[in-house]
Amino acid sequence: MVKTSGESCGVAGERPAPPQLGGVFIGLGSNLGDREATLESAIAAIGASGAVRVLWRSRFYESDPVGGPAGQGRYLNGVIEVETELSAGDLLSRLMETERAHGRVRGERHGPRTLDLDLLLYRDEVIEAPGLVVPHPRMWEREFVVKPLREVCGEERFEMLRRRWAAARI
């Protein structure tokens, strides 16, 4: 299920070396409607403003929901790496606008959703603010984040990131 979003980004595995820019990772998920089309549209929307450039993206992976109501559908998940001069707070606002534009209605915790965008890592920053915690809590425990993040980063860079944040006890 490898898809590309045009010339502005590459699919993990097609690059000769990790990018020197970026270091900002966004998790994507959807379990309502046309999940793949929603994720593709969200990636395009994130990069459309010019304030954010999508560098690399993972393939999409299916996963079972974690928590939430019984009977909800499986998720389609992925990760993108971006570069931006936006602050983490401004980037989060853009991500929430993108969610709303794709029909996201915030309701039950861990409930079904057309689109879920999570700011996973924002360079080397640790942020604890109302509505924004980076690195994303529990990200290293969730295979639906770890697998596509590993794909985008490559094994060596992924292990470096994992060790760095483990040493920081985050």
pLDDT at 67 over 90: no
DSSP string computed for 136-163: PTTGGG-HHHHHHHHHHH-HHHHHHHHH
Lowest mean pLDDT among 39-43, 109-113, 139-143: 109-113
Lowest mean pLDDT among 56-65, 66-75, 85-94: 66-75
Annotated catalytic residues are 104, 113, 116, 118
Q: What is the pLDDT of residues 113-135, one digit of tens each?
A: 889 999 999 988 888 888 888 88
The CA distance from 48 to 112, in Å, is 26
Of 69, 18, 60, nearest in space to 42 by CA: 60
Question: Residue 107 — pLDDT band, cuts 50, 70, 90?
Answer: low
Q: What confidence score (pLDDT) does residue 2 get?
A: 35
Q: What confidence score (pLDDT) does residue 21 get?
A: 57
Helix (H, G, I), strand (E, B) or coil at 54: strand
Domains and CATH numbers, the chain: 6-167 (3.30.70.560)
The CA distance from 6 to 1, in Å, is 15
Q: What confidence score (pLDDT) does residue 111 get?
A: 62
Percent of the chain with pLDDT over 90: 47
Distances (CA, A) of 30 to 13, 83, 103: 23, 23, 11
Q: What confidence score (pLDDT) does residue 16 get?
A: 40
Q: Which residue has the higher pLDDT, 47 or 69?
A: 47
At 2, give phi and psi (nearest 5°): -80, 130
Q: What confidence score (pLDDT) does residue 168 get?
A: 63
